[in-house]
Amino acid sequence: MRVEQGLRVATAVAHPNIALVKYWGKRDERLILPRSSSLSMTLDVFPTTTTVRLDPNADTDVVALSGEARSRVVAFLDLVRELAGRTEFAVVDTRNTVPTGAGLASSASGFAALAMASAAAYGLDLDATALSRLARRGSGSAARSIFGGFAVWHAGEGANAAGDLASYAEPVPVSGLDPALVVALVDTGPKAVSSRAAMRRTVDTSPLYRAWADSSGADLLDMSVALRRGDLDAVGEIAERNALGMHATMLAARPAVRYLSPATLEVLDGVLALRRDGVPAYATMDAGPNVKVLCHRADADRVAEMVGAAGRCPTVVARPGPGAHLRGRP
Ligand code: PMV
Asked if residue 107 has its Cβ within 6 Å of ligand 1, the reply is: yes
Asked if residue 19 has its Cβ within 6 Å of ligand 1, the reply is: yes
Is residue 154 one of the residues assigned to a domain? yes
Q: Are residue 19 and residue 119 in the same domain, yes or no?
A: yes
CATH number of domain containing 225: 3.30.70.890
* Residue after which a domain boundary falls, among 154, 173, 192: 173
Q: Which atom of ligand 1 is nearest to the CA of 18?
A: 14
Provide the pLDDT for residue 105: 67
What's the pLDDT tens digit per position in 116-155? 999 999 999 999 999 999 999 999 999 999 999 999 999 9
Residue 54: pLDDT band (50, 70, 90) is very high
d(CA 42, CA 45): 9
Q: Are residue 138 and residue 230 in the same domain, yes or no?
A: no
Is residue 327 one of the residues assigned to a domain? no
What's the pLDDT tens digit per position in 267-325? 999 999 999 999 999 999 999 999 999 999 999 999 999 999 999 999 999 999 999 99
Q: Are residue 155 and residue 184 in the same domain, yes or no?
A: no
Q: Are residue 227 and residue 271 in the same domain, yes or no?
A: yes
* Residue after which a domain boundary falls, among 153, 173, 193: 173
The residue whose CA is least distant from atom 6 of ligand 1 is 141
Q: Using the mean position of ligand 1's atoms as its centre, give its distance from the Cα of residue 106 in Å.
A: 10
Looking at the structure of the chain, the number of domains it has is 2
**pTM confidence score:** 0.96
Q: CA torsion 10→130→201→208, rounded to 10°?
A: 140
Q: Are residue 270 and residue 187 in the same domain, yes or no?
A: yes
The residue-averaged pLDDT of 88-107 equals: 81
Residue 191: pLDDT band (50, 70, 90) is confident
Q: Nearest Cα to 242, choosing from 26, 10, 33, 38?
A: 38
* Residue after which a domain boundary falls, among 147, 173, 199: 173
Provide the pLDDT for residue 329: 55
Asked if residue 17 has its Cβ within 6 Å of ligand 1, the reply is: no
Asked if residue 200 has its Cβ within 6 Å of ligand 1, the reply is: no
Tell me which residue range forms the domain holding 73: 2-173
Query: Are the C-beta atoms of 115 and 134 separated by less than 8 Å?
Result: yes
Provide the pLDDT for residue 96: 86
Q: Nearest Cα to 50, choosing from 83, 87, 90?
A: 90
**240 contacts: CB under 8 Å, gap ≥ 6:** 282, 283, 284
Phi-psi region of 6 (alpha: psi -120 to 50; beta: other; left: phi over 0): left
Q: Are residue 48 and residue 111 in the same domain, yes or no?
A: yes
- Within a 10 A sphere around the Cβ of 266, how many other Cβ atoms? 18
Is residue 241 one of the residues assigned to a domain? yes
